[in-house]
Structure 1
């Protein structure tokens, strides 16, 4: 009887495998779906696509299958776009057709179709437009937000000073600094770096970024239809999401109690006023759940990616002390010690600007971008991408293009410098994605990365705890995002007083 049962299982697996292979061959034979490796039943292309290093394995597959190819992650086919031409053609030249957010199980379960990052259709259009306008009114892209960043950088300098040249891990200091800028706009206040609740939130966000890019996080993205019903560490990430949303909900109640519709103080106030204006509209995008989710999106997107970029950048500067010296020489010459660097200095600090760009290019923080999809069967080159198919624009393949960036896997600020030392722009610089789904906080993030790094280097020389040659700058996790290795540094004051 046991032998009969085992034989049945084997037969079932063989039938599923044959059906899966036949379906794959059918797609390929019709010349509609882009080519790709043959998937196995249930696990798809898991043997070819390594969850621990998704981007690198996809780049390797492009060598065999070209710039547009298909892989099966779990039971679902995914179309991968490799290289600037394919990515630009889809996201920029045909932005309307490729503007929809694709399936991302972690985000879909956490946000339930609300907010800015994982939403679609009318709600996405309404809330994104409202968020961009409101953030702009509160100074995003204007001088007032620059002043907030510079003010927060002063608090960061104070905290670094307290280390008195002893080794420390910069993770939480950088998270607090960057987060306080978005807190000022969204919540109308900043938090002390020793505030336990605030530090808890920084820990939540750091855990989310690491969990999403862990092996379990990647497996959940591929096999959510099964794992959603099973216990295990893949479920812990949603506890972190819930903790952040509970904090936002608490802030919302505080704002409701003190709201003055004639004088909104921050993003939450503006959203509450909009909710009041549209309370009689049955299909309004402005309701309590969307307020919590949208504020959460702004809070986490405005903190984690930017602070991680700066943290990774400081590690690269520890690894390359001569680059750090050259940045300091330029800042000393142009800015000096008596005032802080500002955005207006950027044009006079081409080497510093090139270093900031090279950090973002080299680390390719979000190598896969967030997934896109198409609303209908869409012809693309000689293929047809079926409605609802997940599409991954491989941003790392653009940022690491060897034709545009010689030695793309080496950290070299010369990638963004002309022969005469002036700054060189590149259309391959896409760390924030491109098209209609480009990160809405791109302007804020670029300003923060430049100002924070320039201010730190104006005031401190950063020294590694180990020999700089021994520092490993390889991501410890590489899934949807690249997570830098943990490290410590010593910050030695450059000026007396």
Structure 2
């Protein structure tokens, strides 16, 4: 026993000295604890209060440690922009933590790096364009889901309801139409399970359990907890996608593709004998998983914030509706092009994205070679995190960073303009693949709802609760609203 204690103590000291040597040239930061790094210092969670406090102590670029791995944090607009764009190639990798490795195995778009990432991302962008992104093809699918969501609110007859689930289903069905070529009914039990599995995954990410898994995977694999459930649910999502792929193969539409899976099957056949890179089914499955993950949770959560802000700020809701009435009248179909005629509404949509800041930190990147970030040498394999919240609330670029004010996006004449510090979709080579789709969904669904309904708080509720719940996205607390036909 004494020998074991001495051995552990010596190992602890050795690891401590190794960390001190490794952190000498990196950006400053708190002293890491052997094996656990700095995450005990931040209570095994990452939130904006902790990150802001660290920035005040150590500056706009500082280092935390995930076990023995350095995590360079970028804070504020100038630092984030320079850190992710000056050497964009150098920070284009994706950190391959034990959790991400178990989820994606280096496949797909979001969690891959190098050759796989370049080919899968390029194919994803090209395919979304072929399916109508950038023209009115995908917009028609968004309009369909907006109408289904409007039918739901109309069926409530002014009674108080929680809009979260119907919104998530509507947004998910937009992705389903793009990926599978069809939508699911709200009563479909398998579809409901898929949506709930994605929601659990996003709740698990950035949780204490996820951080502990990445620090001690060998231990967490054998302990009960949410990490066991999240892997079961991810396997379910992969199985769900593979079933759809089998259906598409049997349908035999790859010569006349109608959706993302059709195009991917065609690409697999096209590159079957390609010595440079072959698209395969594992990458297709993970890419579909990534499209669901990126295209459902973020957009749906932003729309939930949008309705909450409209009941919290009824004067702004009224101004939006006045502009919609004046410009569009009784027009039933709203197109993304209409944003150019609706400057105030367009500004409100942007302020919703800025103020709720649902992505606290961008999905962590990894340096693919030794590089320099803002004058500090950063070795290959370091994790780089961009504090997106600090960009969207940087007082040097926003007059009222902690107030909801559409004026942030309006000039003196009331015309819309977008500020350079508006980076909710991050920046650099890892810029969000679905940015344009998300912008279209938010605008079309938001305008469709406000054109048709007046949203209010339930009777007896005097004030909207705009406090948040922190997970991998920043979510509103559960709330209820009443929708009245205008």
Give TM-score, length-normalised by structure 2.
Answer: 0.94
| Of 431-440 and 225-234, the range deviating more from structure 2 | 225-234
Confirm or deny that 1:211 pairs with 2:186.
no
**Which of 153, 157, 160 is 1:160 aligned to?**
153
Note if contact 1:50-1:57 (Cα within 8 Å) is conserved in structure 2.
Answer: no
Counterpart Cα distance in 2 of 1:223 and 1:467: 48
Tell me the equivalent position of 1:345. Answer: 338
SS at match of 1:197: helix
**Which of 310, 314, 321 is 1:317 aligned to?**
310
Tell me the equivalent position of 2:28. Answer: 35
Confirm or deny that 1:449 pairs with 2:442.
yes
> 1:64-79 counterparts in 2 under 5 A?
64-79=57-72
Note if contact 2:255-2:266 (Cα within 8 Å) is conserved in structure 1.
Answer: no
Shift in CA distance, 444/77, structure 1 to aligned 2, threshold 3 Å: same
C-alpha deviation, 1:459, in angstroms: 0.6
Counterpart Cα distance in 1 of 2:467 and 2:10: 42
Confirm or deny that 1:482 pairs with 2:477.
no
C-alpha deviation, 1:443, in angstroms: 0.4
Counterpart Cα distance in 2 of 1:13 and 1:67: 36
CA deviations 1:432-488 (Å, max 9, x no partner) are: 11111111110010010011111101111111236665432222224x321221111
| Of 456-465 and 226-235, the range deviating more from structure 2 | 226-235
Confirm or deny that 1:398 pairs with 2:391.
yes
Tell me the equivalent position of 1:418. Answer: 411
Counterpart Cα distance in 1 of 2:212 and 2:380: 24
In structure 1, runs of 5+ residues without a counterpart are none
Superposition RMSD in Å: 2.1
Shift in CA distance, 467/12, structure 1 to aligned 2, threshold 3 Å: farther
C-alpha deviation, 1:225, in angstroms: 5.0
Alignment coverage as a number of residue pairs: 486
SS at match of 1:260: coil
Shift in CA distance, 156/58, structure 1 to aligned 2, threshold 3 Å: same
Counterpart Cα distance in 2 of 1:317 and 1:389: 42
CA deviations 1:320-339 (Å, max 9, x no partner) are: 22221111111111112343
Counterpart Cα distance in 1 of 2:67 and 2:368: 22
Shift in CA distance, 486/467, structure 1 to aligned 2, threshold 3 Å: same
Note if contact 1:101-1:120 (Cα within 8 Å) is conserved in structure 2.
Answer: yes
Note if contact 1:398-1:430 (Cα within 8 Å) is conserved in structure 2.
Answer: yes
| Of 100-109 and 390-399, the range deviating more from structure 2 | 100-109
Counterpart Cα distance in 1 of 2:79 and 2:382: 16
SS at match of 2:418: coil
Counterpart Cα distance in 2 of 1:385 and 1:324: 47
Counterpart Cα distance in 1 of 2:338 and 2:67: 49
Counterpart Cα distance in 1 of 2:54 and 2:7: 30
Counterpart Cα distance in 2 of 1:463 and 1:104: 44
Shift in CA distance, 319/95, structure 1 to aligned 2, threshold 3 Å: same
CA deviations 1:96-119 (Å, max 9, x no partner) are: 121111234433211110010001
Note if contact 1:216-1:234 (Cα within 8 Å) is conserved in structure 2.
Answer: yes
| Of 436-445 and 82-91, the range deviating more from structure 2 | 82-91
SS at match of 2:420: coil
C-alpha deviation, 1:216, in angstroms: 2.2
In structure 2, runs of 5+ residues without a counterpart are none
SS at match of 2:411: coil
C-alpha deviation, 1:164, in angstroms: 1.3
SS at match of 2:99: helix
Note if contact 2:94-2:112 (Cα within 8 Å) is conserved in structure 1.
Answer: yes
Shift in CA distance, 18/394, structure 1 to aligned 2, threshold 3 Å: same
Counterpart Cα distance in 2 of 1:313 and 1:459: 15
**Which of 96, 100, 111 is 2:89 aligned to?**
96
Tell me the equivalent position of 1:374. Answer: 367
Note if contact 1:149-1:448 (Cα within 8 Å) is conserved in structure 2.
Answer: yes
Note if contact 2:197-2:237 (Cα within 8 Å) is conserved in structure 1.
Answer: yes
Counterpart Cα distance in 2 of 1:456 and 1:38: 51
Note if contact 2:257-2:263 (Cα within 8 Å) is conserved in structure 1.
Answer: yes
Note if contact 2:46-2:206 (Cα within 8 Å) is conserved in structure 1.
Answer: no
Tell me the equivalent position of 1:22. Answer: 17
Give TM-score, length-normalised by structure 1.
Answer: 0.92
Note if contact 2:19-2:34 (Cα within 8 Å) is conserved in structure 1.
Answer: no
Tell me the equivalent position of 2:256. Answer: 263
